[in-house]
Structure 1
Amino acid sequence: MTAELRPVAGEREYPRLLQVWRSSVEATHDFLTPADVEFFAERVPAYFPAVDLTVAVVDGAVAGFSGVADGDLSMLFVHADYRGEGIGSALLRKAFAQFPQLTVDVNEQNSQAVGFYLHHGFVVAGRSEFDSEGRPFPLLHLKRA
């Protein structure tokens, strides 16, 4: 599947990005309760302006997106309908092209994401007991090998 990668089309696209985020999280973050998902869903749109957003479009539909800030991959989410189609890899390659020493934090309990990043050449550089919101969801700090 070929995706067109482009910059986000401004705030008007944020609701669709939130839909992609929710679909991705519900498919991969089985350690979160529905209340946890709602907690984060209320906060996610506030993060969008703080990162350089890239959108992956397939047949006119937003299939995924990534956000990079200062060489750190702050977010990469693929809608559940497009998982396994190379969308995440395409977004990651674009981020690598901009930042060869890219770093990323990933929920330790999200084994699918951990495997994805390790497969793409990341190694564990550290660990935090809590996420960036101070919640008890351990993070692995990854860097390129």
Structure 2
Amino acid sequence: MLQNKIRQAVQGDHPILLALWQHSVKATHSFLTEQDIEKLYQGLKNEWLAQVELWVLLAQDEIVGFIGLNDNNVEMLFIDDKHQGNGYGKQLLNFVKQRYLQIYLDVNEQNPHALRFYQKQGFEIVGRSELDGQGNPFPLLHLAYQAT
């Protein structure tokens, strides 16, 4: 496998990340309505991308995924829907695992594919919330990873 490059995102990457996010969410978050997606998109565009430490994964000089961190909390991890299943999410998580011994993240309960992915990467469920971070009725599972 070719070695992909992970680099810190720059402001100029944001339009690409927003489009990638939108395609990924539409492919993986079937429980969200178009209105939900638009509301989240606006939050991402106007606020959330600027609030996290963003890293992008490039494969053959194309951004195929990104991860947003707040210290050892993974706030967002998205892979372009055309590139899912190629190990890119695992590469981004391994990048974070090299930096932190403990990692935390939330995953939507209605996204069992993502939950299985994170569990395969060593994350365990440590809690649950009825509402998402925006107060919407999309339950979250709180996950934690501890290096051994």
Structure 2 residues without counterparts, runs of 5 or longer: none
Q: What is the rounded CA distance, in whole Å, between the counterparts of 2:35 and 2:52 in structure 1?
A: 25
Give the aligned partner of residue 92 of structure 2: 91
1:141 aligns with 2:113: no
**Could you list the runs of 4 or more consecutive aligned residues of structure 1 that deviate by over 4 angstroms after TM superposition?**
none
Give the aligned partner of residue 130 of structure 1: 131
Report deviation, 1:96.
1.1
1:109 aligns with 2:121: no
TM-score (norm 2): 0.94
Give the aligned partner of residue 16 of structure 2: 16
- Please list, as runs of the form range in 1=range in 2, the aligned pairs for 1:20-31 lying within 5 A after superposition: 20-31=20-31
Query: What is the aligned-residue identity percentage?
Result: 39
Q: What is the rounded CA distance, in whole Å, between the counterparts of 1:144 and 1:58 in structure 2?
A: 26
Report deviation, 1:59.
1.5
Q: What is the rounded CA distance, in whole Å, between the counterparts of 1:59 and 1:123 in structure 2?
A: 33
Classify the secondary structure of the residue corresponding to 1:48: helix
Classify the secondary structure of the residue corresponding to 1:5: strand
| Matched letter for residue 134 of structure 1 | G
- Please list, as runs of the form range in 1=range in 2, the aligned pairs for 1:30-69 lying within 5 A after superposition: 30-45=30-45, 46-69=47-70
Report deviation, 1:112.
0.9
TM-score (norm 1): 0.95
Q: What RMSD over aligned residues (CA atoms) do the two structures have, in Å?
A: 1.0
Report deviation, 1:82.
0.6
Segment drifting more, 93-102 vs 129-138: 93-102
Question: How many residues are treated as equivalent by the alignment?
Answer: 144
Report deviation, 1:39.
0.9
Structure 1 residues without counterparts, runs of 5 or longer: none
| Matched letter for residue 89 of structure 1 | K
